[in-house]
Structure 1
Amino acid sequence: MRGLRVLRTPAVLSAAVCALLSAGGTPAYAHTALRTASPGPGAEVGPDTRVVALTFGTLLKGTVPKVSVAGPDGEPVPVGEPVVVPGSTVCAAVTGLPDGVGTLTYTVLAADGDAQTHHYEFQVTKSAKAAPVPTACRGRELPGPPVQQASGLLERRGTAVAGASAATAVLAAAVGVLAVRRRRRGRGAAVGGDDLTG
């Protein structure tokens, strides 16, 4: 099982961001730097976590960061469409966090138009509590996570059933055509016999 390789506390992340912001000639991406997150880098949360939230310095107006989550095996975890709320906070519904080290990846558009992608890891443990939902995200209607795996399975089953039905229909039609041809041949032979003996 791979280890957790992240900044261990949000305080370290905040200190790093503050140092960057206080430096002279603040670059454009500093405004879109991640300030707080839930679950945050290195956090230990329960599998019943239902919301992931990211708060940035300032988001480019009209843009919505992309957010994705992967389990310890790299398999994607269903995440709903992110919603930007006042305060440059992005909220997204999530479900089915598997035990182990999870990875949250986000892509944000900086003020200069450059897309910046970053990621961090957190730990999912059954004995831990769900990640806290920030005040900005509480009581909001968030799009539910997609059910791609389930729908894909249903689609495959539906396709298989449809394919089987079509094959059965074709087979039945072929049998019907053969039966009609045999009947016609039988009738033709009978008529020919009468002519010969007539």
Structure 2
Amino acid sequence: MRGLRLLRALAALLGCLCVLLVLGGTPAYAHTALKDATPGPGAKVAPGADVVALTFGRLKSGTTPTISLVGPDGTTVPVGRPEVADDSVVCAAVTPLRAGVATLSYTIVSADGDKLSSAFQFEVADGAKSVATPSACRGLSLQSPNIGGENGTILGFGRTTALVVFSVMGVVVVGGGAFVVRTMRGRRLTGSRRTAV
């Protein structure tokens, strides 16, 4: 009898621990999980889609999510600056998608400040169903991907890389020009001194 009571107490304790683990772990993951996407993970869509949309739980206001897209040949697909609709839907204009498997990567910040980065793939195939622009994205003025926005490219480089390259080139040109001018002045001064003697 005493052994049975002890077993019941252990079973109840174990049950309570399981419930606490399940309920205690859920909020940390549920609020930032990807709930829906257009195109979605593993989806097959027709070529020509020019808007991507990702739906999450509530996102932190004032933060800008990032989205990048790699096409089937491994090249970066230009993506305009993402916009957030309804505090949970991230929308971005992209260069119309071509046939093949594309990889979409994203980084978002949830309402409580947790940062989430992930990626998924989908296929663009002739004869597949076309995807319409999600209703949450229709009222937004999405930046064109060709402007070279935050996730756009400049001369084939990512925006940040291009800015660093151009800055370094500018410093080299200005520094080189100053060196040439200084050298030329030094030669003139030395030549005029010899003439004066």
Give the TM interval when normalised to the shorter protein. Answer: 0.5 to 0.7
Q: State the partner residue of 1:152.
A: 155
Q: State the partner residue of 1:94.
A: 94
TM-score by length of 1: 0.59
Query: How far does the alpha carbon of each residue in 1:132-157 deviate from its partner, in whole angstroms, 9 at most, with x for none?
Result: 2111111321100035599638xxxx
Q: State the partner residue of 1:57.
A: 57
Which structure has the larger Rg? 1
TM-score by length of 2: 0.59
Unaligned runs of 5+ in 2: 1-21, 157-197
> Take 2:38 and 2:56, find their aligned partners in 1: how far apart are those partners?
12
Q: State the partner residue of 1:24.
A: 23
State the Cα distance separating 1:83 from its structure 2 match. 0.4
State the Cα distance separating 1:28 from its structure 2 match. 2.9
> Take 1:107 and 1:152, find their aligned partners in 2: how far apart are those partners?
24
Instruction: State the percentage of identical aligned residues.
Output: 53
CA RMSD, 1 decimal:
2.5
Query: How far does the alpha carbon of each residue in 1:24-63 deviate from its partner, in whole angstroms, 9 at most, with x for none?
Result: 1124342121111000011111221011000101112222
Aligned length: 132
State the Cα distance separating 1:87 from its structure 2 match. 4.7
> Take 2:110 and 2:101, find their aligned partners in 1: how far apart are those partners?
28
Q: 1:28 touches 1:111 (CA, 8 Å); kept in 2? A: no
Q: 1:37 touches 1:53 (CA, 8 Å); kept in 2? A: yes
Q: 1:112 to 1:46 in 2, by over 3 A?
A: same
Q: 1:28 touches 1:112 (CA, 8 Å); kept in 2? A: no
